[in-house]
Amino acid sequence: MEKLYRNNRLDKEELLVDETIFSIANGYLGTRGTFIEGYGKVFEYNQTYLNGFYNYYDYFYEENFSGFPQEGQKFVNLIDGQSMMFSILGKPLNINTCEVLSLERVYDLKKGLTIRTIHYKTIDNYEFILTEEKIVSRKFNELIAIRVNIKSLNFDGDIKVNTFIKESFKKDTSKIDPRIHNESINNYDYVEISKEKRSIIVKTSRSNLYLNTSISHDLDFKYEVNGNSLVGDLTVSINPDNDLNITKYIVHTSSLYSKNYNDLNTDIVNKLSNMSFSQLLIYQEKYYSDFWDISYVRIEGNETYERLLNYNIFQLNNSGGESSLHNISAKGLSGEGYEGHYFWDTEIYMIPYFTLTNPKKAKNLLMYRYKTMDKAKKEAFNLGYSKGIKFPWRTINGDETSPYYPAGSAQFHINSDVAYAIIKYYEATNDIKFLVDYGFEMLIETARFLKEAVNYDGEFYHLNGVTGPDEYTTVVDDNYYTNQLLKYHFENLVWIYEHNLSNLSEVLIKLKCTKEEMDEILNISKNIYLPFSKELNIYAQDSSFLKKKKLDLKNIPEDKYPLLLNYHPLYLYKHQVLKQADTMLSMTLLDFDDLEILKDSFDYYEPITTHDSSLSKCIYSILAYKLKNYDLACDYFKKVLETDFLDTHKNTKHGLHVANLGGSYLGFIYGVVGLRVRANYLKINPIVVSDITGYELNVMYHGQKVTIMVDDKLSVSSTGKVSLMIYGELIEINGTYQTALQL
């Protein structure tokens, strides 16, 4: 797979979806696949985002209770430096003024380059082919570069070119969807608009972040300030023998990442004056070549699988993790759904990919949590607890910003989710330094909060009044997922304590961590209550879940999904109906190995799960592979891969489902490869199925690159000595090892 194609999709909804599909990012900066010349109508979603760049706005509650977050945080669209206008005989070229004879889009995944070619016919019957090539640079994190070629087929005369820096389009808002904030405050105060520097400096109105947006070109424009915009003007001749060629560089620097963001901007612009688009492409190729070297997954049997899985990995990789000053939002840098907030999605659905291919990025993502511990401490206090920290359910800057606590702050499992990612990172990398310097502190502080929250009845510890992953069931007692993750978190915390005492001595003193506290934590991990139904031979989602009425999903018409848009929460909460995998997610993460209980649980929960959340199908896919229900597994896996590409959730226009991108990776490595990370070995149980007859992929484990190749046999090779458990057999590998497939 090298390229992805989508042609002649010109409906408004298709355009908005393709803006997302053709979004490009470098982890810092992201831009949607809009048209540089615009659509001539204001239904555009905004274009450019900077990871972690946000503004505040006031939350309003009709009943404003103690402890509710009072400020929202919102991803803000950057000042738009991309827009241009190309006018023929006074009329701009765009899909509103012209007939479109064809539209072709290509995503070149070897370069992180999008190429859009559109064939316009004006009302005067002049025809032009406009080609826009766009990259978000891997040389300069702050740079978007766009090369435009306009070829005239039958026009000879002047083409007027305008170039802009201006405020972005306002978002198309929707009143009825609780997942999208409906609001338009004035996000920017203007600090400076400079013709000379061709730049606009703004400050976010409430969060006080500065942004310097500058533009430069390989042609000379005459600039004017027009209100809060900077407009460049240029007229050139065009005819069938002479194309218009122009490259535009947009540099966004911010006080978020650099104190000297103004100097930095100037510095980059100066460097760009000697650098062509083609030269920038060389850096792109180099970066993505290294990236694909480790990340590419080759699949035999179904070309779609390989194409979509690698596209998903590509977009996941570009969504963040470049710095510990940011994380990865639910929509990455591809849209404004969920207001650009970071969730547990990162730790549970995304980090495994980074841990296994680029541990440095996994560490960055975990370090983001470490750096926000003071805010998590404040939130613990806010929730009524005197000890430990509570990581936020949704946030940009680390403060809890969930305005609906039943499906927000009540999700106490976030603490153990972060702990799980830390433990898995440590197991995969053996990065003791990280554990000692940062990881252990997070493990203990998150545990301290939960330790204060649990409730001992003389026999078991209970966790009352929390919400698990399934948001169609909220504020319940003893959510199995939460308790099981807590158990894992506490057990591993104690294990690390016991096995790394010498390395940890300093941090133990700093954190006033005693043997008594560790015994208490161990005791809780041993006696945390896990609700189980003997009758059904399944773990219960929580202590009351199995007592509720079932909702017959077969009788609910398709247009009533997602249920949260059509049913009162109270109705959903009264029924056994799941938005997403819950108990089953825990069984996936912890590699639950009682296959009878696993099967009975799967058979119980699967029919009552709507998958209204995009975090769900990948999990059922993995378990179906494990249960050898391959048709169902492949069906789920295929749907996971297609989620954004086929817009199956009908909201890809709001951005990519990044957790699902990670989920598709998990679906493959956990499901098909049967890979699991353990502290002392890497476990794999590779299978082949009708659609997936062979494959090849790499993972990093304990600093070694391990290549797994499946065709009619299994070949494993590694760059150094590693231990693997292959089909249940522990084997030390150094070089290449081959064995028969066990299906």
By annotation, the residues acting in catalysis are: 471
CB of 427 vs a copy of itself, minimal distance in Å: 33
Q: Could you say which of 237, 242, 289, 455 contacts a copy of itself (CB under 8 A)?
A: 455
Site for a copy of itself in 70-109 (CB under 8 A): 72
Whichever of 350 and 410 has its CB closer to a copy of itself, that residue is 410
Closest to a copy of itself by CB, 404 vs 645, is: 404
Q: At closest approach, how far in Å is the CB of 652 from a copy of itself?
A: 21
Indicate the residue among 455 and 514 with the shorter CB distance to a copy of itself: 455
Q: Which of residues 372-411 bind a copy of itself (CB under 8 A)?
A: 382-384, 403-407, 409-410
Task: For strands 222-226 and 91-92, give the pairing.
Answer: unpaired
Among 68, 223, 561, 737, the residue binding a copy of itself under the rule CB under 8 A is 68
Q: Does 43 bind a copy of itself (CB under 8 A)?
A: no
Instruction: Name the token pair of 605.
Output: 């929960």
Q: Which is nearer to a copy of itself, 241 or 457 (CB)?
A: 457
Contact region with a copy of itself (CB under 8 A), list: 54-62, 346-354, 586-594, 616-624:
54-62
Q: What's the closest the beta carbon of residue 387 comes to a copy of itself, in angstroms?
A: 14
Instruction: Say which residues have a Cβ less than 8 Å from residue 355's Cβ, sequence separation at least 6.
Output: 362, 421, 424, 425, 428, 429, 677, 700
Backbone angles phi, psi at 278, to 5 degrees: -65, -40
Binding region for a copy of itself (CB under 8 A) out of 134-142, 462-470, 621-629, 650-658: 462-470
Candidate residues 114, 213, 312, 474; the one interacting with a copy of itself per rule CB under 8 A? 474
Q: Find, among 100, 24, 539, 93, the residue nearest to 319 by Cα.
A: 24
382 or 397: whose CB is closer to a copy of itself? 382
Kindly write down the DSSP assignment for every residue of 552-568, as one continuous string: -GGGS-GGG-SGGGTS-
**End-to-end Cα, the chain, rounded Å:** 28
Site size for a copy of itself, by CB under 8 A? 52
Question: Which 3 state secondary structure label does DSSP give 704?
Answer: strand
d(CA 217, CA 244): 13
Cis bond upstream, residue 531 (ω within 30) = no
Task: State which of positions 641-700 bind a copy of itself (CB under 8 A).
Answer: none
CA 105 – CA 52 distance, rounded (Å):
29
H helices of 435-581, where? 440-453, 480-499, 501-510, 515-527, 569-573
Please tell me whether residue 11 binds a copy of itself under the rule CB under 8 A: no
574 near a copy of itself, rule: CB under 8 A: yes
Site for a copy of itself in 529-548 (CB under 8 A): 543-544, 547-548
Which H, E and C letters describe 240-274, residue by residue? Answer: CCECEEEEEEEEEEECCCCCCHHHHHHHHHHHHCC
In the sheet that holds 157-165, the strands lie side by side as 91-92, 84-88, 157-165, 229-238, 222-226
Q: Decide whether 30 or 392 has the Cβ nearer to a copy of itself.
A: 392
Task: Tell which positions 170-209 bind a copy of itself, by CB under 8 A.
Answer: 175-179, 181-182
Nearer to a copy of itself, 547 or 554 (CB): 547
In sequence order, the 6+-apart residues with CB closer than 8 A to the CB of 290 are: none
Minimal distance, residue 574 CB to a copy of itself, in Å: 4
Task: Give me the residues that bind a copy of itself (CB under 8 A), please.
Answer: 59-68, 72, 175-179, 181-182, 382-384, 403-407, 409-410, 453, 455, 457, 462, 464-465, 474-475, 477, 543-544, 547-549, 564-571, 573-574
